[in-house]
Amino acid sequence: MKVLVIGSGGREHALVWKIAQSPLVTRVYCAPGNPGIGMLAENVPLKVDDLTGLLAFARAEGIGLTVVGPELPLSLGIVDLFEENGLKVFGARKNAALIEASKAFSKDLMKKYHVPTAAYEVFTEIEPAIAFIDRLGVPVVVKADGLAAGKGVIIAQSREEAIAAVTDMLSGNAFGSAGSRVVIEEFLRGEEASFLAFTDGRNIIPLASAQDHKAVFDGDKGPNTGGMGAYSPAPVVTPAIHEHVMQQVMRRTVDGMAAEGRPYKGVLYAGLMIDGDTIKTLEFNARFGDPECQPLLMRMKSDIVPVLLATAEGDISAICLEWHEKAAVCVVMAAGGYPGDYPKGDVISGLERAGAMEDLVVFHAGTTEKNGRFATSGGRVLGVTALGTTVQEAIERAYRGVNEISWQGVHYRTDIGRKALLRSE
């Protein structure tokens, strides 16, 4: 079977890496891909939002399964288009992908179906928003309603910062149309975790637990990013919390989406805040997290293709996933200045040395080829991902890989996975 993966980041490199291992697969394509992906699959020069071009390619090449990585093509209706043309595709349909494409929709859904989440209100005008901020008090969270590449969330520590965030979004065009509505919600304390599950709209199969690190600097300081690293398993998700999340978050959400006439099929990602026994849902994503996908797929013992196919076909009831006991840690190596302005075109050295290490994979995200060498082309450049018998061992191996790689101005956090170690002490 031929498989087409849509996307060009570290998540898609991890998907291609895992899919290419399946005995069911004869050839893998990726659109548009990146140079790292190109070592495992054939890159296709089509943008993720070129839906008609992607459809034409899939039909011409006889693609047996298309796997959609990023949120943009999902929100544009690529799954609807492919299914209407008789093609098998993994991902949420447009009306279901709204759970990520609109934070207001997501929050209203959670409220209606009693999914635990933070108190909130939705605004399109500045003055009522400021009045609500004054009622909530600070710190407070200001979110752009639409898709903002993981950067449309501002945790405002002061009233002035909150008002500036609202003003920038509603009148300053900080996030374009994504910020034409804002969601303002109470600030939640605790520890974040990522909970992902495959669902066919009825049945739910959870993936292993994971934890992302969104802030750009050590100690969760600085602005939010698309993710600076992740690890799995996340000890904050105890067996009791896992069961609680399955019943009160995932089950209620999947059933609620079905009741709304928006059956959810694909991978559903819940961002959680855990404070003791209290669990609140921060957000939903309609796709694999990035960088959570990288350590999760490193730990997945099962062939991923049967579950992707079964999800696309609408029945995962016969699927059972197995996981390696080992832990996995992904450290994102970013361009200096990210998530703000950053340079491009810096030559990367040390990739071969790192790639030769046992139980370690360097997933490419923002790279390009320059005179036969790899160079930077994005904010998040690489995801150095390692396995270990313990989280500590996986951390050490990942950072050994990181230390082999360099370019001008490289930036990465040095504390990925530390929260897991604190829980094991």
Domain 119-186 in CATH 3.30.1490.20: yes
Tell me which residue of 16, 18, 47 sits closest to 29, measured CA to CA.
16
Binned at pLDDT 50, 70 and 90, residue 179 comes out as low
**Beta-carbon neighbour count of residue 278 at 10 Å?**
13
What is the CATH code for 2-93?
3.40.50.20
* d(C-alpha 317, C-alpha 30), whole Å: 29
Question: Residue ranges per domain, the chain?
Answer: 2-93, 119-186, 191-313, 327-424
* d(C-alpha 278, C-alpha 219), whole Å: 23
In eight-state DSSP terms, residue 338 is T
Sign, CA torsion 99/102/107/113 = negative
pLDDT tens track for 14-52? 999 999 999 999 999 999 999 999 999 999 999 999 999
Q: Which two tokens stand for residue 74?
A: 């999902």
Predicted TM-score (pTM) of the model is 0.94
Enclosing H/E stretch for 113:
none
Query: By three-state DSSP, how is residue 133 classified?
Result: helix
Mean of the per-residue pLDDT values for the chain?
A: 95
What is the CATH code for 327-424?
3.90.600.10
In angstroms, what is the C-alpha Rg of the chain?
20
Binned at pLDDT 50, 70 and 90, residue 171 comes out as confident
* Mean pLDDT on 68-85: 97
Task: Give the pLDDT confidence score for residue 233 in this predicted structure.
Answer: 96
- Any idea which of 124-138, 175-189, 231-245, 411-425 has the lowest mean pLDDT? 175-189
Task: Give the pLDDT confidence score for residue 151 in this predicted structure.
Answer: 63
Binned at pLDDT 50, 70 and 90, residue 402 comes out as very high
Q: Are 18 and 297 in contact (CB under 8 A)?
A: yes
Pick the CATH number of 191-313 from 3.30.2010.10, 3.40.50.720, 3.30.470.20, 3.30.1490.480: 3.30.470.20
Task: Give the pLDDT confidence score for residue 177 in this predicted structure.
Answer: 67
Residues in the chain: 425
pLDDT tens track for 337-391? 999 999 999 999 999 999 999 999 999 999 999 888 999 999 999 999 999 999 9
Task: Give the pLDDT confidence score for residue 223 in this predicted structure.
Answer: 87
Tell me which residue of 260, 263, 279 sits closest to 271, measured CA to CA.
279
